Amino acid sequence: MNKRKAFEALKRLRNRLRPKDERPSCSAVIVAAGSSQRMGSDKLLADLEGEPVLARTLAAFQRSELVDEIVVVTRTEKIRQVADLCKEHGFDKVSKVISGGKTRMESSLAGVSEVKPSAKLIAIHDGARPLITQELIARTVMAAHDHLSAVPVVPSTDTLKNVDDRGGITGSADRSHIVRVQTPQVFSADLIKGALTDAVKRELPLTDDCSAMERMGVTTQTVPGDDENIKITTPWDLDVARAILKGRLSKA
């Protein structure tokens, strides 16, 4: 596809998502198919102040007025357990609990392939980010409504260095142009389905869904993220999440 045709295709997609004052139709794909190797146990079912991590994640999207349905992607052996969790907590927006793939791209593609055909936007979120707020969901969904592709980011506070294969420093990265990317990452349904299909077909070693869009030449709009929107990967992360949640509850 040449640049002119690509531009016209993007223009048609933007027109489908407008007018801006209309409520966008957004489906959420919650990716919860990781192995939890660094955690030492199933991080998604770990207790976080009385609720499983995954339950807190799903509850945020259940409450969102901008999310119409939820598809959960998990490991094959966890499908029944996750489905029971959704039923016990009354997550009626969860339409399907499905098996993921061997890679993040395969799991994301499995999820976006199962959302309802009428969805114009798809939000893809890490199941291990249980502290996501309503404000961040809304901010990212509405940015994608306007720009077709949007992700939340936070500035990098560390000095970043380039190193060679032997561990020697070869230079410094410009921190003013470096950000840390979070989820939910929200995209035009048509675009992300095509991008993920291509990434899986090419067996690209991508670690986030925005990277698949980059490969398609689509510029993703950034929105302010949230330092508390952490991803639980290790037991230390779980302790931090508990502290954050306790702080929120004490302010409520």
Query: What is the pLDDT confidence band of residue 73, given thresholds at 50, 70 and 90?
Result: very high
Residue 36 has pLDDT above 60, yes or no: no
Q: Report the predicted TM-score, pTM, of the whole model to 2 decimal places.
A: 0.89
Residue 6 has pLDDT above 60, yes or no: no
Residue 20 has pLDDT above 90, yes or no: no
Q: How far apart are CA 110 and CA 209, in angstroms?
A: 13
Residue 5 has pLDDT above 80, yes or no: no
Residue 39 has pLDDT above 80, yes or no: no
Question: CB under 8 Å to 98, separation ≥6 — which residues?
Answer: 71, 72, 73, 74, 79, 110, 111, 114
Residue 29 bridge partners (DSSP): 71, 124
Per-position DSSP letters for 24-56, written without gaps between them: P-EEEEEEE----TTTSS-GGGSEETTEEHHHH
Measuring CA to CA, how many Å separate 198 from each of 32, 40, 73, 187?
Answer: 22, 33, 19, 15
User: What tokens appear for 237 in the block?
Assistant: 């992360």
- Evaluated on CA atoms 229, 235, 236, 238, the torsion sign reads positive
Per CATH, the architecture of 9-149+184-232 is what?
Alpha-Beta Complex (3.90)
Q: What is the pLDDT of residue 156?
A: 87
Residue 28 bridge partners (DSSP): 70, 123
Q: Look up residue 78 and give its DSSP letter.
A: G
Residue 7 has pLDDT above 60, yes or no: no
Residue 38 has pLDDT above 80, yes or no: no
Q: pLDDT tens, 216-239?
A: 999 999 999 999 999 999 999 999
Residue 123 bridge partners (DSSP): 28, 186
Domain boundaries defined on the chain: 9-149+184-232
Q: pLDDT tens, 125-184?
A: 999 999 999 999 999 999 999 999 999 999 988 888 999 999 999 998 888 889 999 999
Whole-number percent of the chain with pLDDT over 70? 89
Q: What is the mean pLDDT of residues 37-49?
A: 77
Q: Which amino acid is at 109?
A: L
